Amino acid sequence: MTKFGLVVPTYQPILDAGRTAPELVETAVEAERLGLDSVWVGDTLARAPIDALTILGAFAARTSRVTLGTASLLPALRDPIQTANQLLSLDLLSGGRLTLAVGAGFTGRSEPEFAFARVPWPRRRARLDDIVALWRAVWRGETSFHGPVLDYDSLPVFPAPARPGGPPVWLAAHTPQALERAGRLYDGWLPYPPDPADYVSGLAGIRATASRPVTPALFATVLVEDDAERGAALLEEYCLRNYGMPADFVQRIQMQVTGSAAEVASQLREYAGAEHVLLRIASTEPKVFDEQLPRLAEVAAKLRSS
């Protein structure tokens, strides 16, 4: 059965609109109460966010069932050994409920973040793959690591993870090279293509060449609204506020949908094969977000019953 999760907004726009950090924790609690399967947070240095791993720790303390995840984490912005320990700690605190979607950043948007962290932009994909391999080496209790980018003659010893091998790590990317890497190096795949056919063909490509089991997931930005004009206006406002670009441009890059619960469910259903769908509400207004959350659960219920 397909699982459904909520992406909890932790960036500056919703904080500027009046949402507080404790209220974001309550959002995760409410998502669990409504029957969603997971809660996720993003990661950036560009929009003054609440730290992803810190707030996941708060989620872990207040929830008991939902998967806790990053969508997506930018590992290059953090020290890899310290991050391995933080992630292991989160996994132990949550009883093995952590899943990590990771990315290497976006050309034209992420370069300043890498500069903030004093990490070279070139070879960022190889660096990402190496960091994930290093984490797994640490979680397995290995004593050294030598990769194409990272090199450690010795590694610290940490407690054993909640699950053998540590938390699952998904790749958040959709290029042809990413499909090959997802099937060879990662436990899951999290894209957001605007065309369902690209998702279906990408998943087929992964399955044809994968050397390991790969969970197919989908990141979707949604607004459940029966009034088509209002839905389009709210989506336009969200894209301008969140990306500084109009909706028609953003929708050429990522999956976004508005409509009634039945219409949203119908469009999500076209992404055949997705086993875990991450739903991001297309609003940074607390009042609108709170109104949308139970409607999101309604979409999930329709898809589960179909």
Q: How far is CA 7 from the centre of its chain?
A: 7
Distance of CA 287 to the CA centre of its chain: 23
Q: Where residue 109 falls among pLDDT bands split at 50, 70, 90?
A: confident
Question: Which residues does residue 171 pair with via DSSP β-bridges, in sequence order?
Answer: 102, 189
As a whole number, mean pLDDT of residues 28-46 equals 96
CA dist., res. 87 & res. 70, Å (int): 11
**What SS3 class is residue 284?**
coil
Structure confidence by residue, pLDDT tens digits, 231-290 = 999 999 999 988 889 999 999 999 999 999 999 999 999 999 999 999 999 999 999 999
Spatial contact of 130 and 181, defined as CB atoms under 8 Å apart: no
* Count of all residues that appear for the chain in the document: 306
Bridge-based pairing of strands 151-152 and 145-146 is antiparallel
For residues 298 and 295, what is the distance between their CA atoms, to the nearest angstrom? 5
Find tokens 């490509």 and name the residue: 205
Q: Are 49 and 72 in contact (CB under 8 A)?
A: no
Cβ 82 vs Cβ 112: under 8 Å: no
Label residue 280 left, alpha or beta by phi (over 0 means left) and psi (-120 to 50 means alpha). Answer: beta
Q: Could you tell me the residue ranges of all domains in the chain?
A: 3-305
CATH tag for 3-305 (out of 3.40.50.720, 3.30.70.890, 3.20.20.30, 3.30.420.40): 3.20.20.30
DSSP three-state, residue 58: helix
For the record, the structure tokens of 258 come out as: 């508005």
Distance CA 205, CA 180 (A): 8
pTM reported for the whole predicted model: 0.96
Percent of the chain with pLDDT over 70: 100
* CA distances in angstroms from 92 to 32, 73, 84, 133, 299, listed in the order given: 19, 19, 12, 20, 32
CA–CA gap between residue 237 and residue 228 (Å, rounded): 14
**pLDDT-based confidence at residue 202 (cuts at 50, 70, 90):** very high
List, for residues 204-231, the tens digit of each pLDDT value: 999 999 999 999 999 999 999 999 999 9
